[in-house]
Amino acid sequence: MTPTLRGDAARDGPDPPAAAWTEAARVVREEHTRLLATLIRVTGSVDLAEDATQDAVVRALETWPRDGVPDNPRGWLLVVARRRAVDLIRREANRAGKEAAAMSLLDPTPEPPEVVRDDLLRLVFTCCHPTLSLDAQVALALRTLAGLSTAQVARALLLPEPTLAKRLTRAKQKIARAGIPYRVPEAAELPGRLTGVASTVYLIFNEGYATGRPGPADEATRLARLLAELMPDEPTVLGLLALLLLQGSRRAARTGPGGRLLLLAEQDRSRWDRNAIVEGVELVGRALRRTPHRPDRYVVQAAIAACHALAPAYDRTPWDAVVSWYDVLLTVHDTPVVRLNRAAAVAERDGPAMALGLVDTISGLAGYPWWHATRAELLRRLDRPAEATAAYDRALALDLNEPQLAHLRRRRAELPA
């Protein structure tokens, strides 16, 4: 398919309506990751694929609002991106084999539908190659797969942005120097890459879930399903898929009128996706039967999510079980955020005073807005409004999306002066 570009003639006309820009941007956002995955497979280079993909995105946003989104947007983007890749390769045509490599990208043979899923899987496994450190694997995959900015990835991993940028550069250089293949590994190689792959998929889901963007969350769930097809008896994979299904089951109930963020206690549980809950709970059971000796972090997190999903009302949540599962989780995944979440559960079981003592002993979360927000909520319940206000202010000064900011501002405004 050859895209039609009007060039300067289109730019001289009237500006397209805002709805046309919004629709074009939405489609580009949905197709970006799949396009990038295919370009990396075709070119064998992350940097080249990123440059070609970016050019195709810019061309689409210049053209589609005026001409309309084409019937096959992915095909349109792929043609433009391939041509850009050819141009970039030809610039280095003095190097042996470059011209032949460029011409091979012009192959018009249509790709089978299933190649998209394979491309995404190849991309995540390439990023999570065992020769890279685990932190570098996850950072590279988030930057590439989820389309997050360096700053967003740094926030997700609780790292300074300059540190994260250096890790990304080193990871790309190592892939290029070592000639790491762009492929799904053999069955025997899968377990060695699973930790990075699972972390990546989970963090992609969290990014979509936290920002209210269904695209990343749905993509992560599809990747988890594909992993379950590859490794149907692996507890980590079963637990990961169960966790995403159980958390995702609440998506429709997480916001109220005007996009207002609703806490778990405020949500209308009749709006939860019961099919996802049934499937998720069944997967938790299967995974637990496969982990008789050492617990798996995703299986345990899924068990916690199941406690919430099966409770008929918030005040009937089995908080003893939730806290006990957090105790198990700390034996295999002891992080400040896990300790913070456990403290929130302790607040429901033992009261805010006990929980505040636990929260105040957690180190390493001074730049994490939800540590301050949790303290604010606990201080609020202890009738210490001045301290709660100060804690809300610290949380609001950190990086949050608009619904989260609005939620905390509203909670702060409800406090007595």
Q: What is the DSSP letter of 270?
A: G
Question: According to the model, what pLDDT value does residue 164 have?
Answer: 86
Residue 180 has pLDDT above 50, yes or no: yes
Give me the residue label for tokens 């089978």: 112
Instruction: Report how far residue 219's alpha carbon sits from residue 221's, in angstroms, rounded to the nearest whole number.
Output: 5
Spacing of C-alpha 102 from chain mean position: 33
C-alpha distances out from residue 57 to 18, 27, 144, 235, 414, Å:
18, 10, 15, 39, 44
In terms of Cβ atoms closer than 10 Å to its own Cβ (0-12, 13-18, 19+), residue 366 is: exposed
Distance CA 387, CA 414 (A): 14
Q: Does 107 have pLDDT greater than 80?
A: no
pLDDT in tens, 223-281: 899 899 888 999 999 999 999 999 999 999 998 888 889 999 999 999 999 999 999 99
The per-residue pLDDT for 30 is 76
Residue 110 has pLDDT above 60, yes or no: no
Whether 119 and 183 have beta carbons less than 8 Å apart is answered as no
**What is d(CA 377, CA 365) in angstroms, rounded to the nearest whole number?**
16
pLDDT of residue 213: 77
Alpha carbon 392 to chain centroid distance? 26
pLDDT value at 186 more than 80: no
**SS3 at position 255:** strand
Rounded to two decimals, what is the model's pTM?
Answer: 0.79
Give the residue, 373 or 122, on which the prediction is more confident. 373
The interaxial angle of helices 190-211 and 115-127, nearest 10 deg, is 100
Selected residue with higher pLDDT from 413 and 416: 413
Q: Which residue has the higher pLDDT, 407 or 130?
A: 407
User: What is the reported pLDDT for 34?
Assistant: 78
Tell me the per-residue pLDDT of 212-222, one tens digit each, with 9 for 90 and over.
777 788 888 98
Asked whether residue 9 carries a pLDDT value surpassing 60, the answer given is: no
The whole-chain average pLDDT of the chain stands at 85
- pLDDT tens track for 146-171: 667 788 788 778 788 888 888 888 88
- Per-residue pLDDT, 168: 86
Give the pLDDT band (50/70/90) at residue 359.
very high
pLDDT of residue 39: 84
CA distances from 247 to 74, 209, 334 (A): 30, 9, 21
- The predicted-structure confidence for 270-291, as pLDDT tens digits, reads as follows 999 999 999 999 999 999 999 8
- Within 8 A by CB and 6+ apart from 69, the residues are 23, 24, 27
pLDDT of residue 390: 97
* H or E element, residue 329: helix 319-332
pLDDT of residue 7: 37
Token pair, residue 319, equals 């908080």
Which pLDDT band holds residue 104 (cuts at 50, 70, 90)?
low
Max mean pLDDT among 75-89, 198-212, 374-388 falls in 374-388
The pLDDT > 90 percentage for the chain reads 44
pLDDT tens per residue, range 32-44: 877 888 888 777 7
Report the pLDDT averaged over residues 100-117.
47
